[in-house]
Structures are given as structure tokens and as C-alpha cells.
């Protein structure tokens, strides 16, 4: 059996550990003398040092959830934290999880049912409790936050690696059936061909990418409401499940609020948003799938022509 066939068989056999498959790829990369493939295999086996360098299939959409405590025993449990409540440098902690671990670790994380949970860094939690970082109204303070993704999505990272390796090996076999077999005369394949296959299949997105579908936190597409277009605002909020009476309450609040550069300067509008959050948590209000108070605040900010930084 040739090395290429061995790689292909390992890629389609779910019982072969992903690390074993990639070690076979390491041998193939060495025989092909291709630095791109060699570097990718090494990072997959040993992990990525920098989270910014991980491939797109290692990035999964992961909204943040947290607990809020307030005066006199008030507060909320398991509330979704909108990214816009965080500073720019920290918004990723309410949008996505980047998996830097060795692929064997990721394979273990994805086993079984349930979810994978990652607690927020201590420094971020401390910042969110400072006067500058706390964007929550009514004396509420964030005292716990985390991100969660389904184990099935984590296992999808492993499947993506398997799929890309398989596609690469099949396409390489088409170009040179004995590639990776130094003693055979038909093993010759140009560096340009190997690099092209690597770029379009391993590094690119020629075959399915599990991360692409799950990366967006919101499942509803982006909505653009022009400043002052009340009909567009009404239409968007109605489609998302905001009742007519609540729409009327919102319009009254917006009219009575003073001018300001952000929603934080408009107490009645932010109070309305806080009310929506409470009703969602209690089950009294159910919005369309993928729609949260952060998205509602976004279109309200667009209508008002201001920075949409709500205080919930």
C-alpha cells in the first residue's frame, strides 16, 4: 500500500485517531519536501501559539452568558451578554471561541454529549466590575461569565481536518499516483502543484467548513435601519416578535429622552431595553431565533443615528 493510500484510508476511518492521521501527513510532507504542509501538520499536532493565527475552522460562534447581581437580592441568572457591552479589545469573548489546542485534545473535548464551557479570563471579569467597564444599569454587577459551544461543533473541527486531508490526498493522487514514494519513477510532482493543492484545499475553503456556518452569533442577517426611518424600525422589530404595545412604549420613550450620543444617554430607551431583557428571561417575551436585545439595541441606535451602547 502506498503512503497516499494509507493517508486516505486513515482519513475515512473514524476509528483512526486524528493525531495518527496527521503523523502520516507529516511523513508525506517530508517526502514531498513541502514546508507549507509540514508547518500546518506541526501546528495541528502541537497546537497554535497565537489565537489570532488559528484557521477559520477552529473558530466557533459562542455567545457569552453570565450572572448579574444587584441591590437587595436582585439580579439575573444565565443572561446573554451582548458584545457591544464590552470594549473593542474584548468583544471576541461574547462572539467566538478560538481553539488553539493540539488536535488530539480537541478530539477528546468533542467526545460525548453536552457542551464545552470556557470561563472568562479573570482580568476581563475584574474590568467589567470597574466603574469604566460596568455598562449595566440599576446597580447590577457582573459576577460570572462564560462561553459555551456544543461538543458536536467542537468535533466538527476534527471532521474538517479529516475532510481536508482526504481531499488533498485524493487530488494529489490524481496528479501523481505514486507521490510520496521516492523509489517509484511516477512519484514526481512539482512543488507548484503541491503548493496549489495546499492553498486551495488545506488552507482554503474548497470543501465544507464547519466553522463557517456556526461562526456568526446572530442567525438573523444584518438589518440596516436608516436614521429617522420609523417604518423600517417598526417592520424589523415586529418581524422579530416585539408586540405592538411594546413598540408604542419604545416610540414614547425615544421621544421623551433627551438628545445624546449613545443609548447610555437615553434613560427611558435603555429602561425599555432592560424591560425587554427581563421579559425574555422570564419567558414572557420570545423573539425570533438568533435575535437578542443586543440586536434590538443595534437597530434602535441606527434609527436614532447614535452609538448603540445599551445599559441593560
List per-residue pLDDT tens for the chain, 312 residues long: 789 999 999 999 989 999 999 999 999 999 999 999 999 999 999 999 999 999 999 999 999 999 999 888 888 888 888 888 888 899 999 999 999 999 999 999 998 888 999 999 999 999 999 988 888 888 889 999 999 999 999 999 999 999 999 999 998 988 888 887 887 776 677 888 888 888 888 886 443 333 333 333 333 344 567 888 899 899 889 988 899 999 999 999 999 988 877 766 788 888 888 778 767 766 778 887 667 777 788 888 888 887 554 444
- Rounded to 10 degrees, what is the CA torsion of 102, 153, 159, 19? 20
224 belongs to a structural domain: no
User: What is the pLDDT, as a whole number, of residue 281?
Assistant: 60
189 belongs to a structural domain: yes
Residue-range definition of the domain harbouring residue 27: 3-56+155-214
Do 50 and 63 sit in the same domain of this protein? no
Do 93 and 62 sit in the same domain of this protein? yes
User: What is the pLDDT, as a whole number, of residue 218?
Assistant: 35
112 belongs to a structural domain: yes
Q: Which of 103, 128, 154 is the last residue of a domain?
A: 154
**Strands of the sheet with 141-150, listed across from one edge:** 75-81, 64-69, 141-150, 115-119
220 belongs to a structural domain: no
Residue (of 167, 247, 242) closest to 207 by Cα position: 167
Do 65 and 144 sit in the same domain of this protein? yes
Cell numbers representing residue 237 in the block: 422589530
The 3-state secondary structure of 187-228, one letter per residue: HCCCHHHHHHHHHHHHCCCCCCCHHHHHCCCCCCCCCCCCCC
Do 254 and 296 sit in the same domain of this protein? yes
Do 291 and 159 sit in the same domain of this protein? no
Do 51 and 162 sit in the same domain of this protein? yes
Do 162 and 150 sit in the same domain of this protein? no
Do 100 and 127 sit in the same domain of this protein? yes
Q: Which of 104, 119, 154 is the last residue of a domain?
A: 154
Do 64 and 46 sit in the same domain of this protein? no
On whether the CB atoms of residues 81 and 307 are closer than 8 A, the answer is no
312 belongs to a structural domain: no
Q: Within a 10 A sphere around the Cβ of 91, how many other Cβ atoms?
A: 15
Q: Which of 214, 246, 265 is the last residue of a domain?
A: 214
User: In terms of pTM, does the model score above 0.75?
Assistant: no
User: What is the pLDDT, as a whole number, of residue 210?
Assistant: 33
User: What is the pLDDT, as a whole number, of residue 46?
Assistant: 97
Do 63 and 206 sit in the same domain of this protein? no
Do 188 and 48 sit in the same domain of this protein? yes
Side-chain-facing half-sphere of 32: CA atoms under 13 Å = 31
219 belongs to a structural domain: no
Number of domains in the chain: 3
Amino acid at each position: 500500500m502506498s503512503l497516499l493510500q494509507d493517508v486516505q484510508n486513515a482519513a475515512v476511518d473514524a476509528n483512526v485517531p486524528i493525531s495518527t492521521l496527521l503523523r502520516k501527513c507529516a511523513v508525506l510532507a517530508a517526502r514531498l519536501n513541502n514546508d507549507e504542509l509540514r508547518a500546518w501538520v506541526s501546528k495541528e499536532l502541537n497546537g497554535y501559539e497565537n489565537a489570532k493565527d488559528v484557521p477559520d475552522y477552529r473558530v466557533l460562534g459562542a455567545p457569552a452568558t453570565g450572572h448579574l447581581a444587584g441591590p437587595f437580592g436582585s439580579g439575573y441568572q444565565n443572561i446573554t451578554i451582548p458584545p457591544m457591552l464590552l470594549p473593542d479589545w474584548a468583544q471576541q469573548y461574547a462572539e467566538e471561541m478560538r481553539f488553539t489546542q493540539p488536535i488530539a485534545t480537541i478530539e477528546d473535548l468533542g467526545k460525548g454529549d453536552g457542551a464545552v464551557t470556557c470561563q472568562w479570563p479573570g482580568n476581563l471579569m475584574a474590568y467589567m466590575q470597574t466603574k469604566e467597564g460596568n455598562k449595566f444599569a440599576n446597580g447590577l454587577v457582573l459576577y460570572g461569565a462564560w462561553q459555551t459551544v456544543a461538543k458536536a461543533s467542537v468535533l466538527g473541527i476534527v471532521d474538517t481536518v479529516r475532510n481536508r486531508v482526504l481531499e488533498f490526498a485524493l487530488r494529489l493522487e490524481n496528479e501523481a499516483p505514486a507521490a510520496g514514494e521516492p523509489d517509484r519513477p511516477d512519484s514526481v510532482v512539482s512543488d507548484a502543484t503541491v503548493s496549489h493543492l495546499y492553498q486551495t484545499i488545506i488552507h482554503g475553503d474548497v470543501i465544507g467548513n464547519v466553522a463557517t456556518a456556526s461562526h456568526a452569533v446572530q442567525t438573523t442577517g444584518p438589518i440596516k435601519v436608516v436614521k429617522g426611518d420609523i417604518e423600517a424600525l417598526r417592520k424589523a422589530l415586529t418581524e422579530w416578535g416585539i408586540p405592538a404595545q411594546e413598540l408604542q412604549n419604545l416610540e414614547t420613550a425615544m421621544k421623551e429622552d433627551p438628545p445624546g450620543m449613545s443609548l447610555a444617554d437615553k434613560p427611558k430607551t435603555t429602561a425599555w431595553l432592560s424591560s425587554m431583557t427581563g421579559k425574555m428571561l422570564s419567558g414572557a417575551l420570545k423573539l425570533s431565533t438568533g435575535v437578542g436585545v443586543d440586536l434590538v439595541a443595534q437597530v434602535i441606535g441606527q434609527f436614532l443615528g447614535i452609538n448603540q451602547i445599551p445599559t441593560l
